[in-house]
Amino acid sequence: NKYIVLKKRPEGKPSLNDFETKETKKPQPGEGEVLLKALYVSVDPYLRGRMRDEKSYIPPFKLNEPMESMVVAEVEDSKKENFSKGDFVSGMLDWQEYQVSDGKGLNKISKDNAPLSAYLGILGLTGITAYLGLEKIGKLKEGETLLVSGAAGAVGSIVGQIGKIKGCKVVGIAGSDEKIKKITEEFQFDEGINYKTTDNIKQEIKKACPNGIDVYFDNVGGEILDAAVLNMNKFGRVINCGAISIYNAEEQPTGLRLEPFLIKSSILMQGFTVRDYAEDFQPAIKQLSEWLKEDKLQYEETIVEGFEEIPQAFLDLFEGKNKGKMVVKV
Ligand code: NDP
């Protein structure tokens, strides 16, 4: 029974040396417990924040203890009411092949509605983040211009498609021509910008959004955020969902002061943490499921095989190796 721990806190960019795979005996469930076999493990950029020893909305990982993230698992044995062998569940679980749980925080999921891995992406926190970020802060209106960064990633690719469903002009920013092709040809974004092949991102955004930006869904922060804000329309809304471009920075990065632009154009910039909206998760999943059924939404997954590949899959997020949701099949 293998499990993966954080061996040391990364400095700057994390590396494989920060993780270690260990082995222990397969556990046995006690009364009121279930034995879970991990099937799919989600790797997410926000886990980088939990590797720092700092206070946040979620406690830091402890050294030499199993890492955790959202996991889809199968019940292998149950000594708990309402759970049976063969059930599938999702929940915040350890990076461990087999583990016991008292059932708290586990959601039962079904293979009938979607492939099991989708509960880590479009029907999990990823889809919910895209949907609620736009609903709660973006407040998109038909005919507006929506810009999204990390556009070929898990959250970004769904954000852009929701923008199209809502009748908006949608522009995506991503890190390769292949990704731009994907979002414009398969996901129906109106335009795409490869931020790695331009030295003037502000100008590129202006060209792609001649009427200005009404809503910017930010997954990356840093200079791309600055360039987006400089192109915002009056009463524009910025959803600060993620800042992967600075997650590995050891010192607080400095940059452009945005205040004059925010004031001049009455722009709303609001941080978004999906966990603050737990009461809205079910309606969000219902809407996303309907759009999936109606074929209005597509989703992409990058599935890496093998339990021991989890740390590498996590590191690959920072290299942009994924399209859509990065998931490890155990
Ligand atoms: P993604 O699937 O988008 O994967 C990360 C992507 O980020 C990579 O594919 C890469 O694509 C891009 N990237 C990596 N480094 C940089 C960089 N230096 N500059 C610009 N882009 C970079 O991940 P998720 O969809 O899971 O998450 C997207 C963002 O949303 C993250 O910042 C995450 O932390 C945040 N998030 C926030 C939540 C919340 O509640 N606030 C919930 C879920 C996610 P490319 O090839 O285009 O560079």
Distance 242 CA to ligand 1 centre (A): 7
Intra-chain end-to-end CA distance of the chain, in Å: 12
Ligand 1 pocket residue status of 301, Cβ below 6 Å = no
Atom number in ligand 1 closest to CA 244: 32
Asked if the model's pLDDT at residue 113 lies above 90, the reply is no
Ligand 1 pocket residue status of 244, Cβ below 6 Å = yes
Structure tokens at 307: 């339990």
CA atoms of 205 and 217, how far apart (whole Å)? 14
Q: What is the pLDDT of residues 140-174, one digit of tens each?
A: 999 999 999 999 999 999 999 999 999 999 999 99
Please give the model's pTM, rounded to 2 decimal places.
0.97
Atom number in ligand 1 closest to CA 196: 48
Indicate the burial class of 181 (C-beta count within 10 angstroms; 0-12, 13-18, 19 or more): middle
Q: Maximum CA pair distance of the chain? A: 63
What residue ranges do the domains of the chain occupy?
2-121+300-329, 125-275
Q: What is the pLDDT of residues 44-64, one digit of tens each?
A: 999 999 999 988 888 899 999
Nearest CA to ligand 1 atom 9: 320
Nearest CA to ligand 1 atom 30: 242
Q: Collect all residues with Cβ–Cβ distance below 8 Å to 103 and sequence separation of at least 6.
A: 32, 33, 34, 80, 82, 83
Q: Which amino acid is at 205?
A: I
Q: What is the pLDDT of residues 198-244, one digit of tens each?
A: 999 999 999 999 999 999 999 999 999 999 999 999 999 999 999 99
The confidence score (pLDDT) of residue 30 equals: 97
CATH T-level fold of 2-121+300-329: Quinone Oxidoreductase; Chain A, domain 1 (3.90.180)
Q: Which segments within the chain are labelled E, that is strand?
A: 2-6, 19-23, 34-42, 68-78, 88-94, 98-101, 107-109, 145-149, 169-174, 191-194, 213-218, 232-240, 268-271, 301-305, 325-329
Ligand 1 pocket residue status of 272, Cβ below 6 Å = yes
CATH number (3.90.650.10, 3.40.50.720, 3.40.50.300, 3.40.228.10) of 125-275 reads 3.40.50.720
Ligand 1 pocket residue status of 27, Cβ below 6 Å = no
Our separate counts of H helices and E strands in the chain read: 9, 15
**ipTM for this model:** 0.99
